[in-house]
Structure 1
């Protein structure tokens, strides 16, 4: 079977098509005599004018005598090839892989090769020789360096196929089609692994900010800093006079007048440092996003879709800071009813927490997408249903965590401290006490706690059903681990929530419960990342 040579930009004149006899196949072409030695299929026609056929040229590779000794050509400029690895074909023939400095992907291409062939990046790259296909033992086809390139680099050129001089007209469509099939260019990655690791670190920083913000709320420290300056507030008070001036600012607002009118300066310092640490951590998170993103952008490590994603994440970080101050401002305003407990708006608190969860989820998802390879799972009906169940469970987990912001904003965890009943009833009497009815969902503490209970039980039920359904499907080990981890964390989170309720919301346990919501959301995102479709 004859093979068509693939020509490069330039071939040495002493190795172009002509009547020159070729040596027997050896070295890279075959491994000596034996059943895998290529056999000649015909005799060459020597007409003295360079008109030998391509089939005769291939036949002479296995049967022609060695040519007369000739002076080797001078070494060609450029990097020398290095032996990358050896490949074995199904027919038993072995060949070497030459990796060139400026052509990093020249490989042995064979339709019956045991291993998958690597992609080749030889696209309009001038070479000091040519590439040719050679039929070796076992019916395999190799792409090898031929002619002056092989001899100039000290590689034995015996058994290689000579290539003709480059043509002035374009390549034939059949040859371009063959080159597209054999030498395919791999698509560039969206970003290097360093970008994925950076996004995972940023997601961890966002999780720390969420946990610290929850502790700040539980200690009722969020309204201690009554001013908001991007740079000025980075310097805390140091002298006694500065602390007294800061304390006098706090005394002008409703929280001190109604709740903390007997607070001392030492107690004020504690709540002030809690809010200060939360704000400074938010600035660190902003720098952790913006500075590395600028560096990666200038280095050209981000593809066009990844640039849009990074811009969205950086914009969401800035929006999160402004939304935090907008939330704090709602707690510093004078209420129409002087007996209302000063607290931040539960709507703004939910928006602040929701945007933080979106930022965390987007960073974690993008980082996992860049670092974890996708599983080539068969697209069956059961896998499609499992993917849909995972998306539904993740949405329920996110909604349950968001409803926790309304529980925290209204102190609804202190209304009914019993489980599974609420007081003496399964459904309390004051569930719909407010009018209109829709106000109860977001403003009635009893309804807010009831909704949070129902959402939590529904979420753990959905995760359990997801786990049981996944047992019927053959999944990779890492995917199976993600499903099991999601189930374990879900039951741990339910246990933490019940304990927090029965113990009247202690600060350490409540902070752990809030951290558990992030852990549960992380497990759900990990499972969704494992079940992603592989692009065709």
Structure 2
């Protein structure tokens, strides 16, 4: 019976282009061993593999898969690199964070950050439209100390301008949340990221949510009624919280940029778009390149620290004093009695350390020292790196970083001596992000080339 069924299928197989003459003697010799078995087609599947013979699916009989076969199939189709679209998406998100940082700096420079006195993550996205709504928001603002000490007697039109600055800053933050969280869920659900990629996306998402919470926590510090009751208090957000808010933004920017570059690099490697990967891998593992990479890592951390020091200067309005360079008053530094003033210890002799973070003169001096240390460090690394056999991408990033370092120093000095004009100060902050990005890019190009499993 089995033999007859087999012979009946021979014409069908021939119709599909399968040459059975060469295999017929072997199969006929095996027929006796198969007689009595209930699954003839399954037994013959090893000899006539349907993928080799191109037998249509309707002629094949399914075989129950064992656990090992299922695991092997899963491993075969497991993603080893994230999809390229994920890399482009994260780099776009990084560019949005860059824009949010710049607009946030403008909001701080125009003293607009305390104009919205309520935290409404959903309903707050709507801008007032009628005069009655604007009047209600204005009346709320009048209840808080900034109106009584900073924007004394401003008109409704003036209030609309500062309100829009803060409203727009919050709404581009909301938009960024949508642009990040919705595609992130889609990419993970569709399996376009690896397990490691999903973990990174989740971590960056938590950082995004923390950034939003820190933003409101920062604003709340400037709405405290104590700022109106104390005659010497200036209504502004806590410079500690401002620095924390900005540091989270820098971390988010750096994480998105590094992740996006890594995804695109892995895809270029997997698709053979990197010429001579073995030679490049060997070059990046040379001791002199490894040592240079470690120094760039330290320099990148120094750049980030200097940026955060600038946030302390902005939070204390420390750029409005000692508007000379390179001197500070009559000397290179202010008098020690001013830098280490007991006033900032608040009556506690053991708290003199507060001068380092709350004394505007000391904070500005610290920022100057950090800025010049960063500049000379990057200059030394540029001088050393230009003589190393760096890859082309690394060499371009090195020159870009050094050029931005010069520009950052020039912008910082002009901002200081011109008493912090908004345009200069904003450009100074924007260039600090670009300088950090160039250092991160250089560091990324010097990372060891990954090995993509096939």
Please indicate, yes or no, whether the TM-score normalized by the shorter chain is above 0.5: yes
Do the aligned residues in 2 keep the contact of 1:331 with 1:343 (CA within 8 Å)?
yes
Pairs within 5 Å for 1:150-161: none
Partner of 1:522: 437
State the match for 2:281 in structure 1. 376
Q: CA 1:212/1:125 → structure 2, altered by over 3 Å: closer, same or farther?
A: farther
Contact 1:390–1:524 (CA under 8 A) maintained in structure 2: yes
Asked whether the equivalents of residues 361 and 522 of structure 1 are also in contact (C-alpha less than 8 Å), the reply is: yes
Aligned to 2:123: 232
Q: Secondary structure at the match of 1:535?
A: coil
**Cross-structure match for 2:360:** 445
Structure 2 counterpart of 1:397: 303
TM-score (norm 2): 0.78
What pairs up with 1:287-436 in 2 under 5 angstroms?
287-335=178-226, 337-372=230-265, 373=268, 375-378=280-283, 379-429=285-335, 430-433=338-341, 434-435=344-345, 436=351
**1:300-350 CA-partner distances (Å, limit 9, x unpaired):** 111111111111111111111111000000000022623311110000000
Of Structure 1 and Structure 2, the greater helix share is in: 2
Q: CA deviation at 1:505?
A: 0.2
How far apart in 1 are the matches of 2:91 and 2:421? 31
Look up the SS of the partner of 2:281 in the other structure.
coil
Uncovered stretches (5+) of structure 2, i.e. residues with no partner? 1-17, 30-45, 56-75, 270-279, 346-350
1:261, CA displacement in angstroms? Answer: 2.0
In structure 2, what is the Cα distance between the partners aligned to 1:255 and 1:408? Answer: 17
**Match for 1:256 among 119, 122, 147?**
147
Distance 1:453 1:329 in 2: 30
The Cα of 1:376 is off from its aligned counterpart by: 2.0
Distance in 2 of aligned mates of 1:290 and 1:479: 32
| 2:407 counterpart residue number | 492
Q: In the TM superposition, what is the alpha-carbon distance from 1:255 to its structure 2 partner?
A: 0.6
Query: Offset of 1:299 from its aligned partner?
Result: 1.0
**Segment drifting more, 334-343 vs 233-242:** 334-343
Give the aligned partner of residue 116 of structure 1. Answer: none
* Aligned mates of 1:295, 1:311 — CA distance in 2: 13
- Deviation of 1:127 (Å): 4.6
Shift in Å, 1:235: 1.5
Match of 1:212 in 2: 103
Shift in CA distance, 294/272, structure 1 to aligned 2, threshold 3 Å: same
Name whichever of 257-266 and 325-334 sits farther off: 257-266
Partner residue, 2:159: 268
Q: Deviations over 1:415-435 (max 9, x none)?
A: 110001111111211111133
Instruction: State the distance in 1 between where 2:318 and 2:47 align.
Output: 70
Is 1:503 aligned to residue 418 of structure 2? yes
Larger Rg: 1
Q: Is the 8 A contact 2:382 2:402 kept in 1?
A: yes
CA 1:126 to 1:534, structure 2 compared with 1: closer, same or farther past 3 Å?
farther
CA distance in structure 2 between the aligned counterparts of 1:392 and 1:412, rounded to whole angstroms: 27
Which residue matches 1:512? 427
Contact kept? 1:12, 1:129, Cα under 8 Å: no
Distance 1:129 1:507, change over 3 A: closer
The answer to which structure has the higher strand fraction is 1
* 3-state SS in 1 of match to 2:313: helix
CA contact (8 A) 1:496 1:512 kept: yes
In 1, distance between residues paired with 2:151 and 2:47? 76
Structure-2 residue corresponding to 1:478 = 393
Q: Give me the whole-angstrom Cα distance separating, in 2, the residues matched to 1:126 and 1:481.
A: 57
Tell me if structure 2 keeps the 8 A contact 1:12–1:128. Answer: no
Match of 1:533 among 439, 448, 453: 448
Structure 2 counterparts to residues 273-292 of structure 1, below 5 A = 273-292=164-183
The aligned length equals 374
Question: Can you list the C-alpha shifts for 1:30-56, whole angstroms capped at 9, x where unaligned?
Answer: xxxxxxxxxxxxxxxxxxx9xxxxxxx
> Quick one: structure 1 residues 420 and 190, their matched pair in 2 at CA, closer, same or farther if it must change by over 3 Å?
same
Equivalent-residue separation in structure 1 for 2:51 and 2:317 (angstroms): 78
What SS does the aligned partner of 1:437 have?
Answer: helix
Does the 8 A contact of 2:79 with 2:193 survive in 1?
no
What's the offset of the Cα at 1:265?
A: 0.7
1-structure distance, mates of 2:433, 2:22: 67
Q: CA deviation at 1:13?
A: 6.2
Output the CA distance in 2 between the equivalents of 1:522 and 1:186: 35
Instruction: Give the drift of 1:243.
Output: 1.1
